[in-house]
């Protein structure tokens, strides 16, 4: 009986795929490199837990690395990283046009500066 494309094209390359994911490969990059169709790729993700889990675990790992790097950059004074972090972690407070607050804006700014200075001291 003939092997499925999963057995011949994907399963033997799971370690290689892991490296691709950790280096930022997209789904399209992966199925193109494997020589399989987009539909087959998504079917294999649904059907084969080892494939799905490997993709998810390694994407979660690399996303965590980027989050940590962003946080470290923000704590070291990178203003762009600080803005990005706050807008995404606290969108209600830090979006472009926040809802009006009853808190004094100067007090809010002072609290933010203290928090950044404290984080920098703890490095």
H-helix or E-strand spanning residue 121 = helix 105-121
Residues whose CB falls within 8 Å of the CB of residue 21, separated by 6 or more in sequence, listed in order: 30, 54, 55, 58, 59, 62
Q: Provide the Cα torsion 42, 46, 48, 54; round to 10°.
A: 70
**Tokens describing residue 49:** 């837990």
Q: Which residue has the tokens 């399989």?
A: 36
pTM for this model (two decimals): 0.65
Distance CA 27, CA 67 (A): 21
Give the residue-averaged pLDDT of 81-101. 82
pLDDT 10s digits, 42-84: 999 999 999 999 999 999 999 999 999 999 999 999 999 999 9
- Contact between 14 and 54 (Cβ < 8 Å): yes
The residues spanned by each domain of the chain are 5-63
Cα 104 off chain centre by: 34
pLDDT 10s digits, 80-89: 999 999 999 8
Distance CA 58, CA 39 (A): 21
Residue of 9, 3, 14, 91 whose CA lies nearest to 55? 14
């Amino acid at each position: 009986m003939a092997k499925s494309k999963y057995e011949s094209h994907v399963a033997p390359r799971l370690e290689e795929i892991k490296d691709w994911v950790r280096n930022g490969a997209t789904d399209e990059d992966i199925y193109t490199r494997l020589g399989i169709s987009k539909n087959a790729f998504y079917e294999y993700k649904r059907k084969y837990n080892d494939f799905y889990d490997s993709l998810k675990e390694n994407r979660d790992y690399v996303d965590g690395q980027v989050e940590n790097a962003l946080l470290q950059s923000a704590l070291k004074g990178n203003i762009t990283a600080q803005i990005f972090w706050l807008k995404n972690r606290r969108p209600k407070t830090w979006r472009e046009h926040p809802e009006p607050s009853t808190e004094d804006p100067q007090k809010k700014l002072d609290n933010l500066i203290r928090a950044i200075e404290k984080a920098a001291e703890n490095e």
